[in-house]
Structure 1
Amino acid sequence: MIKLIVGLGNPGRQYEKTRHNAGFLFLDELVSKFGCDWVNEPRFQGVLSEYNASIGKVVLLKPETFMNRSGQSVGKIVRYYKIMPEEILVVHDELDLDVGAIRLKKGGGHAGHNGLKDIIAHLGSREFFRLRIGVGRPVTGKVVADYVLTSPSKSEWELINLAIDAGIACMDKLVTGDVAAVMNKLHA
């Protein structure tokens, strides 16, 4: 059962439409779908929203700490709400998936993703769920940081938006703990 959904990204207009903000974009769509509002919460170093799922309240968080310090915000909210790592879903961009692919997994390493690395450090655990939105890898010779901080092409955006829609369509099953059904649907 999921009690907290964290979308990873960087605050600020210059980052809004970049590959690295796939997690923020996902949560913005989710909030729009459920008719929720974002509230700035300085004590959690982020913006929060919540929606009532069939299991109860689910907290949504966009850390305002910038990607590499996402764990600070996540750690604060987890301690406040007494949320266990296995009750957390982190939505993020994934270089190791083709553009527009979407996959769910539990646990694992950070694969060089600094946002995940910081969350793992602050939680002291890797046992949270990850909803990974594929943004593909840069061409050989291009710096990864430059790649993830630029906007995808129009055709790539269409694929990323389809992935976001597919993930949102599975949220009810995911927050209630039907992980196998979500994996079957997203990984097909």
Structure 2
Amino acid sequence: MTDTSVLFERNSTFSDGFDQADLPILPKLNTLIVACIDARVDPAHVLGLGLGDAVVVRNNGGRVTRAVIEEIAVLAAMVSKMTQNPHPAFNVVLMQHTQCGAQNFANPEFQDMIRTKLGIDVTPSAITDQATDLKTDIARLRDAGEIPGTLTVSAVLYDVKTGSVREVAEPRQLGDLRANV
């Protein structure tokens, strides 16, 4: 049996008796989570999410990159249109984790190797200190004018050894963060 056939077998189990065809497009918890692609850090398991509870965006390091900013801005525009509310409000939770492979991206030699071999700059995804990097990512969202100030942002750190999540930054509305700059 191949790894892919295991996935199809698991989907068959999932789809047997599937009864959630009427889930709304917008997440039930009014939340978008930005997390790392690391297989040990699945927000559905870590945070106990059910199908349809939250939108999850995953990338190297769970960092706020230009692409993540664009995804959040587009989602906000979609929510605004769907709800007929020009000031959409939902939660953005930034989630990084201990022992992250993106810590390698902070190494200048590694950065140079990736840039030389692939032409990719990994510095925006580099992890140096999770608490500091999460606060930097909150500032990136704060400074992204295309994201409405009505969104709330917070940050957590997941410990891969204990399974626990620690709050690094409490929920704050982007508009409030912008007013305090």
TM-score, scaled to structure 1: 0.37
Structure with the larger RCO, 1 or 2 (CA within 8 Å, 6+ apart) = 1
* Pair member with larger Rg: 2
TM-score, scaled to structure 2: 0.38
